[in-house]
Amino acid sequence: MSNIYKTKLEEEKKLLEDELASIGQVDKTGDWKATPEDETNIQEVQDEADMAERSEDFEERSSKLDPLEDRLNDVKKALEKIENNNYGDCEICKEKIEEDRLEVNPAAKTCKGCMEKII
């Protein structure tokens, strides 16, 4: 059964990485960071209003990047679990996660019951 989810997860990982690459770059530790303005643009900055606008762009990219990075980490963890043959186990109660939950979210870490407890 894991194969279907593996394909789904790999597809999602690719999409997330593409999206992250469009707003940021990965550093040496494997952490994603929003890309700052490139240097050619910084040299053109003339006044403070311009500066403020540029840092807003940067903040916007950072705020988009974080949830994508979290999601990517969940997807990667799920793929690791497939490798380790413990995919589909709830991290809290250790029971099997419901199939329909995995279909909606193949990177789910908990079963439905535990998901409700967390929220």
Q: Which of 79, 107, 108, 111 binds Zn ion (CB under 5 A)?
A: 111
Terminal-to-terminal C-alpha distance of the chain: 28
Q: Is residue 90 at the binding interface for Zn ion, with CB under 5 A as the rule?
A: yes
Kindly tell me which of 42 and 93 has the beta carbon lying closer to Zn ion. Answer: 93
Phi, psi dihedrals of residue 108, rounded to the nearest 5°: -55, 140
Q: Is 93 in the site for Zn ion (CB under 5 A)?
A: yes
* 92 contributes a contact to Zn ion by CB under 5 A: yes
Place of tokens 């099997």: 96
> CB–CB of 24/65 below 8 Å?
yes
Question: What is the binding site for Zn ion (CB under 5 A)?
Answer: 90, 92-93, 111, 114
